[in-house]
Amino acid sequence: MSNHLLTLQDYEKNELGTWTLSISNGSEWWNNPENFDKVNEIIKSLFKEVSEKLAAIYVLKAIVVTSDVLEEYDRLLSGTTRKARVDSPREGLLTGKVLTWGNAKNMETYNALVVIDEQICAALTLEEDSVSKALIVHELAHVAERYCTRSVCADLDEDIYLYEWEKIRLSKAKSIFSEYFAQLAAFPYYRNKEDLKSHIYHALDYLKIVKEYLDDEINKYRYSNNMNELWPKAVAELSRVFDAIGRSIGLLSGFRDQFEQEWSNFANEIDKIDSSWTVVFNDLLNALINFKYENINKDAFTEICNAIDKGFKAAGFVPEIRKDGSLFIHVPF
């Protein structure tokens, strides 16, 4: 199968409810038509299964398989007016990313595509694989959730500046819910319990790393008093933690009958890192499992936003909006 460097305009031509599998800057492995056909059939089957529960994924126009998700995403993004850029993860592989464009108020004019790493897609052909299907379903669920969210909260796509605390917290709340929703959909596809446990505890790994990093940055701030340098780092790093928490809670929620025991084990591990974060995790858990997906609006994110406030405070940051509308960041000793 040859590689194609298509544009968003090319993908827009696909009719609503139809999508194509495209290879962009892929390896020679895709030159074998049998490999492409096998992956295509597996993804078609996954799409059918997900669409039976999440009809909104019919806005999908393409799944783009590539050797470098970040590079391909940025190439495609250059064809839109959006300025956002995907941050590369601190460690490991960026496995997939959803790109959306158009008017979410009208399904006919709204478009979505998934950029996915070719290693994930190639792994679909391995009998012993237990993760790649879950990762594909995770991205498909993002397509559905994003359409439903943006149809009522379109301004979440606007540029957000670091002094706009209300927009920051609402954007982070939406992102946490998005990760929770996608992992809850992916839960049934994790066949290997050890793989599942590893993904659940990713949030704690992020928390450990980010806590140490921000503690060090706060100590530097005590000498430099440069909040313009510290605040962007805090927002970026805590965003990764919050997204990871959303994914972990999504997987934990899938246990249902075993949930209480699994959550108890998880909470004990949080306490070992920093007990002040236990309240944050608990509040996010309650907010997410009680979230009314069928009635999404800005107010629906309030409880998640409140938990975000507590998370920033646990990390050492207390944002305050002053009477003149300016943002002041307290960093208590």
**pLDDT tens digit string along 179-238?**
999 999 999 999 887 888 888 999 999 999 999 999 999 999 999 989 999 999 999 999
- The CA distance from 172 to 166, in Å, is 10
175-178 LR contacts (CB < 8 Å, sep 24+):
175/239, 175/242, 175/243, 175/246, 176/242, 176/243, 176/245, 176/246, 176/284, 176/288, 176/304, 176/308, 177/145, 177/149, 177/246, 177/288, 177/291, 177/301, 177/304, 178/142, 178/145, 178/146, 178/149, 178/246
Residue 82: pLDDT over 60: no
Task: State pLDDT tens for residues 267-313.
Answer: 999 999 999 999 999 999 999 998 877 667 777 899 999 999 999 99
Q: Which residue has the higher pLDDT, 160 or 141?
A: 141
Stretch 136-142: mean pLDDT: 96
The whole-angstrom separation of Cα 30 and Cα 27 is 6
What's the rounded Cα separation, in Å, for the pair 3 and 22? Answer: 8
pLDDT band at residue 138 using 50, 70 and 90 as cut-offs: very high
Share of the chain above pLDDT 90, in %: 65
**How much is the pLDDT for 129?**
77
Alpha-carbon distance of 143 to 130, in angstroms, equals: 22
| Close Cβ partners of 171 (under 8 Å, ≥ 6 residues apart) | 156, 160
**What is the chain's mean pLDDT, rounded?**
88
Reported as a single tens digit per residue, the pLDDT across 47-61 is 999 999 999 999 999
pTM of the model: 0.90
